[in-house]
Amino acid sequence: MYDIISQYTEYLELEKGLSINTIDAYRRDLEDFADKFDDIKNIDRVSVNRYIRTLRERNYAVTSIIRKIASLRGFFKWTVSSGILSTNPASTLEHPKVPIRLPKVVSVKEIEEMLHSELTFFESLIIELLYSCGLRVSELVNLKNSDIDISSKYLRCFGKGSKERIVPIGIQAIEKITSYLPEREFILKKFDKNTKRLLITENGREVTRQDVYKIIHRVGKTIHKNISPHTLRHSFATHLLENGADLRVVQELLGHSDVSTTQLYTHVSKKRLKDVYFKINADK
């Protein structure tokens, strides 16, 4: 069965163009499932349902179960289309209901506090790009020099499934990029390095996701909050909607394939409005 999973993940990479991180998540889910079975031919609807039930009994989070169900449905659909199986044992699997979890956001004031804290120039550049462009951390670290158009104030990034989108860059981010590029060239020449990636460390190494997480986690402490790079993306979307941006425009800027994903931020905006209202009245 592990050989079949390898064939499937190769299909996801070559035919579907999914990212390495997404493919690795699918592989982990499927290998966890495969550990329970000797032969794929012996898997039926009852055994798949039994596996899902054990996940609930092991107190897996609802979101984790939903992801595993999605992994199984995609995998078994492919096995049927590939002629490996004649019937799909996961075709009737239903997603459990997910409680609405509002994204964690920070206020505009808190963004400003972070940017005015003790940051290196490079750290402030990373925060500006994440927040003003609403980038995912993977999109940020994979940016190339050629993806930045300073004159037009736009950048090109590649999201989930290698989907390309064009995003406007804020004025402050443009100023920081303009100042950073000569420094970047100096570092590459100094350490005799060559890379197309935009963001590099002081020793010429390409910036990783882990580097960005560490920076944002540390900077978050300046406002006494535990935040991640995605918090800045959430805040970008929420602040746009709070200031009257059209939902479809925000959807395009975030690269969401379904507007229902973007609609979640309208709930955040309403909740923040209520919180402010009750705080004002409590202080009277």
**Angle subtended at Cα 242 by Cα 238 and Cα 247, rounded to the nearest 5 degrees:** 70
DSSP character for 59? T
Neighbours of 213 (CB within 10 A): 14
Q: Taking the CA of residue 241 as centre, how many other CA atoms within 13 Å lie in the half-sphere pointing to its CB?
A: 26
Catalytic residue, from 8, 51, 68, 136: name it: 136
| Beta-bridge partners for 21 | none
User: Which one is catalytic: 67, 73, 205, 230?
Assistant: 230
List 157's β-bridge partners, or say none: 165
Residue among 27, 160, 165, 267 flagged as catalytic: 160
Give CA–CA dist 111/257, Å, rounded. 27
Q: Are 172 and 128 in contact (CB under 8 A)?
A: yes
Active site residue 239: no
Known catalytic residue at 53: no
Question: Which of 176, 184, 233, 234 is flagged as catalytic?
Answer: 233
- Helix, coil or strand: residue 118: coil
Query: Residue for token digits 């920081």?
Result: 176
Q: Which residue among 8, 26, 131, 265 is the active-site one?
A: 265
The amino acid that residue 102 corresponds to is L
Backbone phi and psi for residue 144, each to the nearest 5 degrees, phi listed first: -110, 160
Active site residue 233: yes
Three-class DSSP category at 18: coil
Residue 217 is among the residues annotated as catalytic for this protein: no
**Residue that has been written with the tokens 């995609």 in this structure:** 74
Are 231 and 133 in contact by the 8 Å Cβ rule? The answer is no
Q: Which of 68, 184, 234, 256 is catalytic?
A: 256
Residue 64: is it exposed, middle or buried by C-beta count within 10 angstroms (0-12/13-18/19+)?
exposed
In whole angstroms, give the CA distance from residue 266 to residue 112.
Answer: 23
Residues assigned a catalytic role: 136, 160, 230, 233, 256, 265
